């Protein structure tokens, strides 16, 4: 979990994202993992830290720790949501944020302009990284790591029924599914061979989410024949979504499932038509 803002140095609290580059066609991103908010924006927020954390995707950077190329975002999605188009990337109304009232006083024009430049800067950096991987390897697979809640009615309430909430939801709506079947299907099969807490992983496609985020859409628009971007949504079986407490054993098992799938991704990418 991110340390509290008050415990961070100025350089740490100003972090936007980190990029780790390697010689590999595989890249992982965790763009909702972050929890940081600029202090002056934090002072204007109505939503408290616990409420923000509940809708963020903590620990998702750990699931991609074995992927050679990695991008980790440190800012909270409540400051700027990089997985939405620019016009919806700042949650100005409850309809944009699961009915939550995010702001007591919304950001002013100057702050919005700065955040929009940040959004553009991220996608420029992403495009630069992916262009380099494409040039070196001829193509790439991007695993876009996210998580989702399944106990929205309260900590003691029944969880969402399993049929509507797979352990891992694979989102592919912006993908040319026929083009990337030879990559996607073995990836799903490998994940299904693993377990968490002694129970085989339930991995299904486009059930709880359809992969309609801005990042996968961007990849498929800009790299239509060479980039396979897969939205990977982990149900929060690896933590208590109400307290933020992690289940370290479950995190390790999910990381191992992703790690086991990496050789197959690289192999099937190399066999693309």
For residue 240, give both structure tokens: 């208590």
162 by Cβ neighbours in 10 Å (0-12 / 13-18 / 19+) ranks as exposed
Q: Let me know if 265 is exposed, middle or buried by CB neighbors in 10 A (0-12, 13-18, 19+).
A: buried
pLDDT value for 270: 84
Average pLDDT of the chain is 94
| Per-residue confidence (pLDDT) for residue 2, from 0 to 100 | 42
Please report the pLDDT score of residue 212 as a whole number. Answer: 87
Residue 207 sits at φ, ψ, to 5 deg, of -105, -70
Distance set, CA 113 to CA 8, 17, 86, 104, 119 (Å): 25, 19, 11, 19, 10
Domains of the chain: 22-270 (3.40.630.40)
DSSP 246: B
Distance CA 124, CA 109 (A): 22
pLDDT value of position 5? 44
Q: Over the chain (273 residues), what is each successive 10-residue block's mean pLDDT? A: 46 88 98 97 96 96 98 98 97 94 96 98 98 98 97 88 96 95 98 97 93 95 97 97 96 98 96 66
pTM: 0.94
Which tens digit of pLDDT belongs to each residue from 215-252? 999 999 999 999 999 999 999 999 999 999 999 999 99
Are 63 and 22 contacting, i.e. CB atoms less than 8 angstroms apart? no
- pLDDT score for 108: 96
């Amino acid at each position: 979990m991110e340390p509290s803002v008050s415990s961070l140095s100025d350089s740490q609290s100003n972090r936007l994202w980190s990029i780790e580059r390697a010689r590999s066609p595989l890249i992982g991103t965790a763009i909702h993992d972050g929890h940081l908010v600029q202090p002056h924006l934090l002072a204007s927020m109505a939503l408290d830290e616990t409420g923000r954390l509940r809708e963020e995707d903590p620990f998702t950077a750990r699931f991609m720790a074995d992927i050679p190329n990695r991008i980790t975002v440190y800012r909270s999605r409540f400051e700027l949501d990089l997985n939405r188009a620019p016009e919806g990337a700042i949650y100005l109304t409850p309809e944009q944020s699961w009915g939550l009232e995010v702001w007591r006083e919304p950001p002013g024009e100057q702050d919005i302009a700065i955040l929009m430049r940040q959004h553009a800067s991220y996608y420029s950096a992403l495009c630069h990284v992916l262009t380099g991987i494409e040039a070196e390897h001829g193509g790439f697979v991007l695993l876009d790591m996210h998580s989702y809640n399944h106990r929205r009615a309260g900590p003691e309430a029944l969880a969402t029924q399993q049929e509507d909430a797979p352990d891992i939801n694979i989102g592919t709506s912006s993908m040319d599914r026929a083009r990337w079947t030879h990559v996607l299907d073995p990836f799903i099969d490998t994940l299904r061979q693993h377990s968490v807490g002694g129970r085989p992983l339930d991995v299904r496609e486009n059930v709880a989410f359809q992969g309609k985020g801005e990042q996968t859409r961007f990849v498929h628009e800009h790299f239509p024949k060479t980039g396979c971007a897969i939205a990977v949504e982990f149900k929060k079986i690896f933590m208590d979504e109400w307290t933020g407490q992690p289940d370290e054993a479950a995190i390790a098992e999910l990381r191992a499932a992703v790690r086991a799938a990496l050789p197959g991704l690289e192999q099937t990418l190399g066999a693309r038509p």
